[in-house]
Amino acid sequence: MADPSPIEPGDHQAYMRYALSLARKAPPKPTNYCVGAVLVDEASNRIVSTGYTMELPGNTHAEQCCLAKYEEQQDIKEIGPTDTASKRLVLYTTMEPCNKRASGNLPCTETILKSKSKRNGGIQTVYVGVKEPEKFVGENAGRAKLEEAGIGYTHVLGLEREILAVATAGH
């Protein structure tokens, strides 16, 4: 995804709508939320990866799929210095990244923190459409962890009802 995004730089609601369009691709199940994620190089306004719940094999979350696809594109095992040094990566996700996984997979918050901790690059800001409901794992402390690590966290207002309707399809 090397071309500049058709979305205007800083149009957070438009990026969130794009993430919501991806969430609609997730298979509805009673045991997960349908979430979409978009990874953007903010400096160049390029979409560098996208993902949605269950896009990749296994019980995969949107952020996990998005970052795994980005890593594969870069031919790297983890987001490292060469691919992030000149980029200001931001992540748009329709739902707050999880902080706990019942499936045994790495929580999305930890995956995001790994991207930041590798060097000076990684994800700088996470834009979120809705807070994660407490249905599966209780209170989500992901926001606090991200902010403690210096990762910005911004709630994009205006799409909550639509996002929750898509996220809870199949429940």
Work out the angle at residue 37's Cα, subtended by the Cα atoms of residues 34 and 43, and round it to the nearest 5 degrees. Answer: 170
Whole-number Å distance between alpha carbons of 140 and 99: 6
- Pick the catalytic residue from 63, 96, 110, 132: 63
- Amino acid symbol at 111: T
Residues 132, 95: contact at Cβ < 8 Å? Answer: yes
Whole-number Å distance between alpha carbons of 171 and 168: 6
63 has catalytic annotation: yes
| Enclosing H/E stretch for 23 | helix 12-23
Whole-number Å distance between alpha carbons of 44 and 131: 28
Residues 6+ apart with CB under 8 A from 94: 16, 19, 20, 23, 35, 36, 37, 62, 128, 129, 130, 159, 163, 166, 167
Active site members: 63
